[in-house]
């Protein structure tokens, strides 16, 4: 397995979610690893959610990425495909707002996700941010749609445990759900870690990547 590192310097990060908690469930460990690396400027964008849930998401964003910006919309949960035009317009509005400092890295749902809201964002995000590296994240769910991933981010054990602590702390509205527990979150990270020879990891799918190899710059 060949490992590639992010270029040195600041990383402009955009986290796109259909629902509050999507990003932190899927990528919380990655966010903490990026924070430990330093030099990350993050923006979180959430398309649905009642006020209580959006407040949870804003607090969680600060816990996982201190100083992050947050944008949210109140489109109907579970109905995003019926609001295709509004979703596309929201993403394009966000892209215009970030045009002076566009993201290098975008975390977004998979276009193969079984949930219709996630799947729509997975299809639209690469059409809006064509010059960024898009990592499609995975969200465990009742539908059983987990698939083979192409890319792994190793997560140190203390940060894996910290992810679980922060999820429970900042999403109290979800704690009573039968699938919400430490074993589920750590278990998936353990499986992905085993697949990349790490204790814990988070898995992503990359659809398109340009590998620049030059005598001076090396690989990026």
Report pLDDT for 217. Answer: 52
Give the integer Cα–Cα distance in Å for 136 and 125: 10
* pLDDT, tens only, 126-166: 999 999 999 999 999 999 999 999 999 999 999 999 999 99
- Token match 């898995």: residue? 203
Residue 1 pLDDT > 90, yes or no?
Answer: no
CATH superfamily of the 11-208 domain: LmbE-like (3.40.50.10320)
The residue extents of the domains of the chain are 11-208
Give the integer Cα–Cα distance in Å for 44 and 21: 11
* Top-confidence residue, 7 or 112: 112
Report pLDDT for 212. Answer: 86
Give the integer Cα–Cα distance in Å for 55 and 186: 25
Percent of the chain exceeding pLDDT 70 equals 98
Predicted model pTM: 0.94
Report pLDDT for 9. Answer: 85
Token representation of residue 34: 């990026």
Percent of the chain exceeding pLDDT 90 equals 90
Q: Residue 105's closest CA among 17, 14, 23?
A: 14
Token representation of residue 39: 């030099």
Average pLDDT of the residues in 18-42? 96
Asked which of 5-9, 131-135, 168-172 is least confident by mean pLDDT, the reply is 5-9
Residue 208 pLDDT > 70, yes or no?
Answer: yes
Give the integer Cα–Cα distance in Å for 202 and 58: 22
Residue 219 pLDDT > 90, yes or no?
Answer: no
Grade residue 63 by pLDDT with cuts at 50, 70 and 90: very high
Report pLDDT for 214. Answer: 76
Instruction: Kindly report the average pLDDT of the chain as a whole number.
Output: 95
Give the integer Cα–Cα distance in Å for 125 and 204: 15
10 alpha-carbon distance from chain centroid: 18
Q: How many residues does the chain have?
A: 220
Q: Residue 133's closest CA among 154, 89, 102, 91?
A: 102
């Amino acid at each position: 397995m060949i490992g590639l590192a992010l270029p040195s310097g600041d990383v402009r990060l955009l986290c796109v979610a259909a629902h509050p908690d999507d990003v932190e469930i899927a990528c919380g460990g990655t966010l903490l690893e990026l924070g430990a690396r330093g030099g990350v400027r993050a923006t979180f964008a959430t398309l649905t959610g009642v006020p209580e849930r959006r407040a949870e998401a804003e607090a969680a964003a600060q816990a996982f990425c201190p100083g992050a910006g947050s944008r949210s919309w109140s489109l109907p949960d579970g109905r995003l495909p019926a609001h295709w035009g509004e979703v596309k317009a929201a993403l394009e509005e966000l892209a215009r707002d970030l045009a002076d400092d566009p993201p290098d890295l975008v975390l977004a749902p998979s276009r193969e996700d079984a949930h219709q809201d996630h799947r729509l964002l997975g299809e639209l995000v690469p059409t809006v941010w064509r010059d960024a590296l898009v990592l499609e994240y995975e969200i465990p769910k009742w539908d059983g749609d987990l698939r083979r991933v192409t890319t792994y981010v190793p997560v140190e054990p203390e940060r894996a445990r910290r992810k679980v602590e922060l999820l429970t702390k900042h999403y109290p509205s979800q704690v009573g759900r039968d699938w919400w527990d430490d074993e589920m979150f750590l278990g998936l990270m353990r499986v992905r870690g085993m697949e990349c020879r790490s204790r814990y990891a988070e898995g992503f799918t990359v659809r398109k990547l340009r590998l620049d190899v030059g005598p001076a710059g090396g690989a990026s």
